[in-house]
Amino acid sequence: MTLFDYPPALPHNHIGYWGPVTATIDWCEENYILSPYIAEVVNSFTNFIFLLLGAHHLYSTIKNKFGYLYIFISIGFAAVGLGSFLFHMTLLYEYQLMDELPMVYVTALPFGYIFAWNSSKKLKWIWGLGTFITTLLFTYIYIFIYRNPEFHQFFYALLNFGLIYKTFNVANEKVTDLKAKKQIYKILILAFSLFAFGFLIWNLDFVFCPNLIFIRRNHLGLPFGILTEGHGWWHIFTGFGIYYFILYNQLLCTWMHDMQDQYELVWFGIFAEVRLKKDKKIN
């Protein structure tokens, strides 16, 4: 099955082009094996899925007049991919933050918005300011006090589960058409399933890392060994999971603003957009 052998393993203390590893986490892909200039080639270039899908959402958001919130979300989606590319390319701590912090910020935006929605002006300010201060506090703690990636993962998961919980409740309240409700829930289930499956592969990559490296080097070789880079698959499945989750939120947003009759979900292959049928903007 092997077409090409992997290059010889580098010593554990090897220092690559970008200098010593300063990130608080390293991955199963062997560093600088495939390129002297890119620490983790597969983990780096699989981030292009975030850039491409983020660009598509940005174009669709502007074309279909979804407003500034989704413009920021789309840009943040792409920014996660750029930060993650730089992180895996260099394994430097400053680029690790460019990967991890945008993940939090792009989730905090819709989190604050959905919890403030349909509230009094005072509560909207409380939710908006509270989300901002909490996120700022997390950033300070994570950078200066407790640099544990599990802390980041916990806070990020908390934001996501809170967002899913609230949007689910809003959908139950606002979406009165049974067919539309099933459609919205199907997209939510699809998004969550892709994210969860990617997370499973990521964890298997951690647990079985030595075994995976052995299989790549002794049985698969190149290019087939690339298919066993679990963190790269995490990027791909997570990218599509976020893509569909944004679609889910956009569909729900049309119902939240009583504009569901002016929008439709249009599929083209595995991609889709919530398309405007009439020229009216969601504020």
* 205 known member of a binding site: no
Q: Is 228 left (phi over 0), alpha (psi -120 to 50) or beta?
A: alpha
* 261 known member of a binding site: no
* 150 known member of a binding site: no
**Alpha-carbon 270 to chain mean position:** 18
* 26 known member of a binding site: yes
Query: Backbone phi, then psi, for 264, in 5-degree steps?
Result: -145, 150
* 257 known member of a binding site: no
Kindly state the tokens that stand for 113: 């918005």
Query: Please, what is the end-to-end C-alpha distance for the chain in angstroms?
Result: 56
**Residue 274: CB partners within 8 Å, gap ≥ 6?**
60, 64, 66, 247, 250, 251, 254, 263, 264, 265, 266
Handedness of CA 245, 272, 193, 225 (dihedral sign): negative
Secondary element (H or E) of residue 74: helix 68-90
The position carrying tokens 């199963």 is 28
Secondary element (H or E) of residue 96: helix 93-116
* 264 known member of a binding site: no
* 283 known member of a binding site: no
Half-sphere exposure of residue 258: CA atoms within 13 angstroms, side-chain side: 1
d(CA 200, CA 195): 9
* 219 known member of a binding site: no
Contact 246, 74 (CB under 8 A): yes
In the annotated binding site for Zn(2+), the residues are 88, 231, 235
In the annotated binding site for Ca(2+), the residues are 26-27, 29, 31, 40
In the annotated binding site, the residues are 26-27, 29, 31, 40, 88, 231, 235
